[in-house]
Structure 1
């Protein structure tokens, strides 16, 4: 017995797009279609309100097959839950790692401190402000052993982030593998040599670029020979993304950097397929869900094309992606919202097909994360995999006409920019001549303008702030004590091993096994003055509004009270509540406390309440009918009572001049520059900015 296929639309005619547009135009009542229904992204992509089969690519491939748009694998195994560790104290690092591994994490990243990344040991006088900053104080094999005590290195993939000191750090890890009896086939990890990424992020490369690329190629060749399941080269675009890169710019930077490294590896003697497999990419994902999904899909498509042109076989063209929730999306104010931001980002990374994902703890912008924050970050991934079952479907977003179209458009935008970069001499050239920094600065300025006008909403920051929130504090470690401990640990090896060879990676590993520190190895490998450029800046979306909140808090600490604004609410609650709420959110986003009330029937009672409040500025809040009837009278009375600056909430339309003549100094409404108004208002109230 057979059953006819059920088609719910079978009884209805199929409308054409033209017919749909006619219906839309009627619903819009003449309003411009492009303004009302089309969203324009910074990448130059116009997001349409409707997508159809015509927007889907003719051939998207299959998961696990070139061009890998739909995933580097056939699906089913999910992504590695990676946790990233950068606490200064080695015991704190070790405790956090073991806790993560016991409760769901499957891979680790260890970031070494700024002293190491500058080629110094923690007890070096030049490292006084660097030791323990932004990373773990790992300087020797004993330090690394302490940090990784109890971690089964034959089972857990470990990635290192050591900046320009990838070789000495790799020597430490290899020495530890040897000491623990980890055989080459069992070791899993990444050394992450990334000279162009270091130059972008730190602004300093302690050798010539050609020398750095040659050493990177040597590390890769040595890794291929000795450690078959380890990658030597990393392409981390975090510096570009945190400087303000759009998704297309971030992808273009990844492609241009990756191509530069491929050339160096092949020139260093590796076959193209081997060179491809020695590279791992780290891409940041934000909380624009669909754009982030499309970004990872486009990244694989683009890299497959680059490697195809370079002569790689299809299996070697698959891009290995570690997705990291972007640092720039994290706020210091109302940090609890970061849990939601990073969950959306992690969801997008998983749907987009990342090989591994790292979720930042919600308090990461405040200092060292506590156990609760790390647990929530870890469990958000566990929940996505185990309870939401995201890993049980291959390429869940595949077939969505919108996602497929967005993937293709993003890939096209990134490819055009990548070609422009190559035409300018490649990634190194545009970093050195400053052109790239200028491009990112323009992108950040455009984004900051959108944030300032609340076109881009930040919950808890420029929208729905909580001025009374209890601050989340994360005490800084005792760096002086930690430096003293490091000095005691480092002293014996300097006496027992006064000199060592540094003419090969094998010699570095031997030296590391004897206790030679990263700082000493870095000094032995140093080659002249190296390169120096202005490092790319680090931005967070919330930084401008948070600066205003900080200034208002400092004012409160000095005077005993926040700066305040009086809400001159007209009429009944139902009449003014919408604009009163708008005004409260508007001013409290800048740390100006809104003094509310149930509304006033006449100007006299409003004036008396204003005088009693002690405020110097006020904002009229009411419905259009209330404004029409009462705004001018209330404005005159309030200005006569001494209101320094009088605002009106809402767009006054053709009544602007009349309201201004009555005493209204400024109007706040959708589309105005919130940040600029708040800055000038705080300055008028005597708050130091």
Structure 2
């Protein structure tokens, strides 16, 4: 900063302190990300920060997944993607994690890629755990039969034995980074494959619930293990480094996603420097986050994916895959695939995002986030290295435990609605029309073999809330009776409107339909009549604290407030479960004596509360 900048910052802070009138600056204006990084209200321009640009300047590669189990259908969808603007295909083979129970068959690869020009389309492979030979052999034979020079094709082979270990909880027959690693590279280079062979994949960590720093550290640790194993197998560090590609997850958190992609390039430069290597471009692919997708109101997935793709592009991803918005429901149809690729095409061609290299460079906020992630990820990488590397940490269960802790923290934020999921925890729509995929998502069977250590699972953030909705809908279908709650609005609309809206959103997130009287309730008799007319067996009092505390008219219990009178009226009319919107304060005992069973308020554990509410309403539930 220059002297004038310091004076400007000091003058700004003085004015802010004056407005705050003694309030704590950090509490008022400094926020914190889920990752624990402080976000300041004002940053200075960053001077001299390292740039993070794509390996190849210009447009990023628009990638589409090929995962239809029928070869002819997969071919038709893939060609439609390429004709519609995609420039790369990811072949998700049956049994691979990314296929999600679907996937193409390696022995039908010729039919899947019929009419696809290998020399103008990039290909990326995703294999079943520890089983990459069949797909690579099939692709090699197919390319040779069609007269292609394999050395000139852009094929990311996607071999990731450490990722396979993490997904399955299984230790391979040989060490995942031992001599077999070098033999794989030696064979594929001998057959002409010139592109990256090994992939350091962040999806397994992210889907298990990792923080961004943990994802970065996991990716770096895998790549470093591959680098070390290949060097021990006789390859130079330069050859080994060129054999590794990277894949990170793009999330709906724009700022953290941009920082994460920028941080990886800086972190790998640190690894190269520590190994005595000169800086060289690395290939970083992006895929939009599986864990952020929702089955409820899946159209909102389009918005989340757009933010994620935008962030990956700004962060410098070389290739981007946007998951179709119906992915959590099952196999995507042509429309969902078109929306996925068009999301990128609009960002690239209409918004011109590709024209600026590292647009976040020099922005104080982005540089601060990038620096924070670099420091956190490097510290975690050192922890992994001290433990003997990622394979050792997986075998001990320590890495799984660390990620599980972060997953638990994030789940609590969602359950308390501090990390909103639009359409699921916020603004649920019980009248939404179903969206039908080509095929519904199958139940992916677990491994019959006992794992050697705990595998890293795959979770979506919305799952606990979606299960509540599913349970309520199943109960309604079985009983032909709606799961509903009557919102007993006390006083005039200005008093109850805010809490009525809050209660409606909270209960409907769990599939409980909110019913209101539609008129001002001005007596116990009117309240009882409105409750009976609603058809509900449960109710929630909604109004302001001041209205709750008003003395009851014609109280049968001396000293009753309006809220207590209303509670007694509803209980006497047959209400089996009664909630009150708002914190009870020092009236809790009186409210409970009058019949209130529970209280709802901002910061409540919504999932736990709705589980209890379902039980009180007679829904069969499963306890952990």
User: Counterpart of 1:671?
Assistant: 603
Which of residues 135, 150, 153 is equivalent to 1:187? 153
Q: Which structure 2 residues correspond to residues 260-659 of structure 1 after superposition, within 5 A?
A: 260-315=225-280, 318-474=281-437, 476=439, 532-598=452-518, 599-629=520-550, 630-659=562-591
User: Counterpart of 2:132?
Assistant: 166
**1:477, CA displacement in angstroms?**
8.0
- Which secondary structure does the structure 2 equivalent of 1:474 belong to? coil
Take 1:277 and 1:34, find their aligned partners in 2: how far apart are those partners? 45
**1:669, CA displacement in angstroms?**
1.1
User: Counterpart of 1:144?
Assistant: 109
**1:185, CA displacement in angstroms?**
4.0
Deviations, residues 537-591 of structure 1 (Å, cap 9, x unaligned) = 1110100000101111110111112311100012333432221111110001001
User: Counterpart of 1:511?
Assistant: none
User: Counterpart of 1:512?
Assistant: none
Structure 2 CA distance for partners of 1:286 and 1:144, relative to 1, 3 Å: same
Take 1:350 and 1:343, find their aligned partners in 2: how far apart are those partners? 11
- Whether the 8 Å CA contact 2:94–2:104 is kept in 1: the answer is yes
Take 2:454 and 2:5, find their aligned partners in 1: how far apart are those partners? 62
- Whether the 8 Å CA contact 1:253–1:427 is kept in 2: the answer is yes
Take 2:440 and 2:413, find their aligned partners in 1: how far apart are those partners? 37
Between stretches 260-269 and 31-40, larger displacement belongs to 31-40
Between stretches 607-616 and 151-160, larger displacement belongs to 607-616
Between stretches 229-238 and 92-101, larger displacement belongs to 229-238
- Whether the 8 Å CA contact 2:166–2:455 is kept in 1: the answer is yes
TM-score, scaled to structure 2? 0.91
Take 2:469 and 2:604, find their aligned partners in 1: how far apart are those partners? 19
**1:654, CA displacement in angstroms?**
4.6
- Which secondary structure does the structure 1 equivalent of 2:196 belong to? strand
- Which secondary structure does the structure 1 equivalent of 2:330 belong to? coil
**1:73, CA displacement in angstroms?**
4.1
Structure 2 CA distance for partners of 1:227 and 1:242, relative to 1, 3 Å: same
Take 2:567 and 2:101, find their aligned partners in 1: how far apart are those partners? 53
**1:602, CA displacement in angstroms?**
2.2
- Whether the 8 Å CA contact 1:82–1:105 is kept in 2: the answer is yes
Take 2:71 and 2:124, find their aligned partners in 1: how far apart are those partners? 16
Take 1:566 and 1:350, find their aligned partners in 2: how far apart are those partners? 47
Structure 2 CA distance for partners of 1:205 and 1:111, relative to 1, 3 Å: farther
Deviations, residues 62-113 of structure 1 (Å, cap 9, x unaligned) = 4xxxxxxx214474x1210011122211112111110000001011100111
Greater relative contact order (Cα < 8 A, sep 6+): 1
**1:229, CA displacement in angstroms?**
3.8
- Whether the 8 Å CA contact 1:220–1:231 is kept in 2: the answer is no
Between stretches 598-607 and 433-442, larger displacement belongs to 598-607
User: Counterpart of 1:106?
Assistant: 87
- Which secondary structure does the structure 1 equivalent of 2:197 belong to? strand
- Whether the 8 Å CA contact 1:90–1:136 is kept in 2: the answer is no
RMSD of aligned alpha carbons = 2.4
Take 1:135 and 1:110, find their aligned partners in 2: how far apart are those partners? 11
**1:216, CA displacement in angstroms?**
2.9
User: Counterpart of 2:445?
Assistant: none
**1:29, CA displacement in angstroms?**
4.7
- Which secondary structure does the structure 2 equivalent of 1:208 belong to? coil
Structure 2 CA distance for partners of 1:80 and 1:213, relative to 1, 3 Å: farther
Take 2:79 and 2:290, find their aligned partners in 1: how far apart are those partners? 24
Take 1:276 and 1:217, find their aligned partners in 2: how far apart are those partners? 13
- Which secondary structure does the structure 2 equivalent of 1:134 belong to? coil
Q: Which structure 2 residues correspond to residues 168-247 of structure 1 after superposition, within 5 A?
A: 168-204=134-170, 206-210=172-176, 213-227=178-192, 229-247=194-212
User: Counterpart of 1:9?
Assistant: none
- Whether the 8 Å CA contact 1:74–1:394 is kept in 2: the answer is no
- Whether the 8 Å CA contact 1:242–1:537 is kept in 2: the answer is yes
User: Counterpart of 2:559?
Assistant: none
Take 1:14 and 1:59, find their aligned partners in 2: how far apart are those partners? 18
Take 2:569 and 2:231, find their aligned partners in 1: how far apart are those partners? 79
- Which secondary structure does the structure 1 equivalent of 2:239 belong to? helix
Structure 2 CA distance for partners of 1:213 and 1:237, relative to 1, 3 Å: farther
**1:174, CA displacement in angstroms?**
0.9
Between stretches 587-596 and 304-313, larger displacement belongs to 304-313
- Whether the 8 Å CA contact 2:155–2:193 is kept in 1: the answer is no
Deviations, residues 313-367 of structure 1 (Å, cap 9, x unaligned) = 222xx32100000110110111111000111000000000000000000000111
- Which secondary structure does the structure 2 equivalent of 1:193 belong to? coil
Structure 2 CA distance for partners of 1:465 and 1:98, relative to 1, 3 Å: same
- Which secondary structure does the structure 1 equivalent of 2:245 belong to? strand
- Whether the 8 Å CA contact 2:140–2:150 is kept in 1: the answer is no
Show structure 2 runs of 5+ residues with no match: 443-448, 551-561
Deviations, residues 38-72 of structure 1 (Å, cap 9, x unaligned) = 2223433112222223xx3x53234xxxxxxx214
**1:634, CA displacement in angstroms?**
1.8
Deviations, residues 398-452 of structure 1 (Å, cap 9, x unaligned) = 1111000000011101110110011111100011111111111111111101100
Which of residues 155, 165, 181 is equivalent to 2:120? 155
- Whether the 8 Å CA contact 1:562–1:591 is kept in 2: the answer is no
Structure 2 CA distance for partners of 1:437 and 1:133, relative to 1, 3 Å: closer
- Whether the 8 Å CA contact 1:552–1:590 is kept in 2: the answer is yes
Q: Which structure 2 residues correspond to residues 112-131 of structure 1 after superposition, within 5 A?
A: 112-114=93-95
Deviations, residues 218-268 of structure 1 (Å, cap 9, x unaligned) = 222333444364221111121111010000000000111110000111112
**1:205, CA displacement in angstroms?**
5.0
Take 1:606 and 1:25, find their aligned partners in 2: how far apart are those partners? 50
